[in-house]
Amino acid sequence: MSDETTNGAIASAEAAGPAFTVEKIYVKDVSFEVPSAPAIYTENAQPELQLNLNQRVQRLGENAFEVVLGVTLTCKAGDKTAYVAEVQQAGIFGLMGLDPQAVDVLLGTQCPNILFPYVRQIVSDLVQAGGFPPFFLQPINFEALYAESLRQRAAQGGDAGLASSEPAGNA
């Protein structure tokens, strides 16, 4: 009877088909610096913003992956750095019953789409807490970034997937 229960559970899990789950979302690293404070608050120069976006994927187990979406926002006023905000938002995702291509697509598109609103909120809060006007990250098309990474992989003649720690790209 025990075998029937065990085999029944396995059969029902297999019959359920492919699964994509969000196991955990967390902040992995946060940094905010105002290197020119307090003088920067009296500057009248037009701010220049530079955004760097990256993504790392690490396999944690057969069906578990950690995806880290990293954002570095640098604001300069003239020749001085007004602030630097760095956020690494992470999530653990379960991907079961999927072919490798589907796993790669989900890791490169859906996972960063899920993490992005958290990154956006943290960056906005950091900038305002630093005494600067609000900054809102604009939506990012992770599907387009993923497509670009596929083009770059093809050009390099490799097929190393995101699951092996491929960056998503820079914005």
Confidence bin at 2 (pLDDT 50/70/90): very low
Rounded to the nearest 5 percent, the helix, strand and coil shares of the chain are 40, 35, 25
Order of strands, edge to edge, in the sheet holding 19-33?
A: 19-33, 80-96, 64-77, 47-59
Looking at the chain, how many residues does it have? Answer: 171
Query: Which tens digit of pLDDT belongs to each residue from 116-171?
Result: 999 999 999 999 999 999 899 999 999 999 999 899 988 887 655 554 444 444 44
pLDDT digits (tens, 9 = 90+) for 100-113: 999 999 999 999 99
Per-residue model confidence as pLDDT tens digits over 7-26 = 444 444 455 789 999 999 99
- Please report the pLDDT score of residue 161 as a whole number: 52
What contacts 74, CB < 8 A, 6 or more positions away? 49, 50, 52, 81, 83, 84
- CATH number for the region 18-137 comes to 3.10.420.10
CA distances from 52 to 42, 114, 134 (A): 26, 18, 18
Nearest C-alpha neighbor of 52 from the set 132, 125, 140, 111? 140
The CB density around residue 34, as the number of other CB atoms within 10 Å, is 17
This prediction has a pTM of: 0.80
Q: State the pLDDT at residue 94.
A: 97
One-letter amino acid at 171 equals A
Distance of alpha carbon 90 from alpha carbon 67, whole angstroms: 6
Q: What is the pLDDT of residues 53-97, one digit of tens each?
A: 999 999 999 999 999 999 999 999 989 999 999 999 999 999 999
